Amino acid sequence: MSLPPGCRRQGENLVCRLNKSLYGLKQASRQWFAKFSEAIQAAGYTQSKADYSLFTCKNGKSFMALLIYVDDILITGNNVAAINSLKQFLHTRFRIKDLGDLKYFFGIEVSRSKQGICISQRKYTLEILKDAGILGARPVSFPMEQNIKLSNEGEILKDPAKYRRLVGRLIYLTITRPDITSAVHVLSMFMHEPRIPHMDAAVRILRYLKYTPGQGILFPTQDDLKLKAFCDSDWAGCPTTRRSTTGYCVFLGNSLISWRTKRQKTVSLSSAEAEYRAMASTCCELSWLRCLLQDLQLTHSEPVTLHCDNQATLHIADNPVFHERTRHIEMDCHFIRDKIQDGSIVTKHVSSSQQVADILTKPLGKEGFSTMLCKLGVLDIHSPT
């Protein structure tokens, strides 16, 4: 490291040798995490293979879990004395500040009640609305028009950076808002060359957020802790590439814990193929969640129920016989058959009206959107009712 100006004498060519990593260096975060991991594992904690930022420790009936993000740490467990002992250990190795019970973490608000734990991003949502100047706009009850098809048509925006910043903030908001995930996914496809219709669609999402700024997710206190999932696809929904969109949501009991909207990599030749690819993606998520729950001492011995509303897809998944219509599908999609055969996944048909993953694949009308929100367990925790 070069010496700062004024500290070097004329003719000298000295440098500083660093004793520890500092903020701003390329390897600072890696070195910090390596040092923290070494210290916490020396204290008897085990690093999770499903999520390397998760450390757990089980000692008899006592169980502790620690989650780290850069230099912010969440600690939980069923033994208060063990939690205090861990805090004391960390304070001897690092200088830490105890902020008390979890209430606010990276824009996510956490509130507790007898019914359970609610998470939302109300403050972050209001900041987005304020910066965009939408606080006085008229609110709407759903984020995107049902039959809208955005494409690369329309006048190009003069200031694309404003659109990119807005969509980037909306992407972070989807951490607790599955209701806007599908709409934000569509807008993120036009980041390279945004146009006026894209900005108008983004403004509509802001007007919807004004309608429900405190909307969040409830994790009930009483639950059965059994995994179940719903998967769906919007066949050839993209007007420019004709690719399909995968959408899935995973529940632990009645709590929504994982959801995703993603454009498929290839064009599907039928709705059954699109649904089959969506089912394979959901199966990957379920396999990962089972490993994560095992690290949290939640053994899920029963098969996970995977709901799909396409009968042809269910037959393809259950029947390992080679078929002419499926020979073009990549082999990685067929691993769901192995999961079904080893008993870790069980498929089940669900009617389209009960398919909650619909909200993640395409824009819904007002009534359908409200119905799916109720089934997802999304609620406005700041509502007077």
**What is the structure's pLDDT at 382?**
55
Q: Do 271 and 306 form a contact (C-beta atoms < 8 A)?
A: no
Size (the chain), residues: 385
For the entire predicted model, the pTM comes to: 0.84
SS3 sequence of the chain: CECCCCCCCCCCCCECCCCCCCCCCCCHHHHHHHHHHHHHHHCCCEECCCCCCEEEEEECCEEEEEEEECCEEEEEECCHHHHHHHHHHHHHHCCCCCCCCCCEECCEEEEECCCEEEEECHHHHHHHHHHHCCCCCCCCCCCCCCCCCCCCCCCECCCHHHHHHHHHHHHHHCCCCHHHHHHHHHHHHHCCCCEHHHHHHHHHHHHHHHHCCCEEEEEECCCCCCEEEEEEEECCCCCCCCCCEEEEEEEECCEEEEEEEEECCCCCCCHHHHHHHHHHHHHHHHHHHHHHHHHCCCCCCCCEEEEECCHHHHHHHHCCCCCHHHCCCCHHHHHHHHHHHCCCEEEEECCHHHCHHHHHCCCCCHHHHHHHHHHHCEEECCCCC
**Cα separation of 353 and 365, whole Å?**
13
Q: Do 205 and 241 form a contact (C-beta atoms < 8 A)?
A: no
**Cα separation of 175 and 173, whole Å?**
5
**What is the structure's pLDDT at 20?**
65
Q: Tens of pLDDT along 319-371?
A: 766 566 676 777 767 788 888 888 889 999 999 888 988 888 888 877 788 88
Nearby residues of 370 by Cβ (< 8 Å), 6 or more positions away: 141, 142
Task: Give residue for tokens 């042809």.
Answer: 312
| Closest-CA residue to 234 (of 185, 199, 196, 188) | 185
Q: Tens of pLDDT along 14-69?
A: 777 776 666 677 778 888 899 999 999 998 999 999 999 999 999 888 999 999 98
**What is the structure's pLDDT at 384?**
39
**CA 359-291-308 angle, 5° bins:** 30
Q: Which residues in the chain come in under a pLDDT of 70?
A: 1, 19-23, 320-325, 327, 332, 379-385
For the chain, percent of residues with pLDDT exceeding 70 = 94
**Cα separation of 325 and 22, whole Å?**
57
What's the burial of 119, exposed, middle or buried (CB within 10 Å: 0-12/13-18/19+)? middle
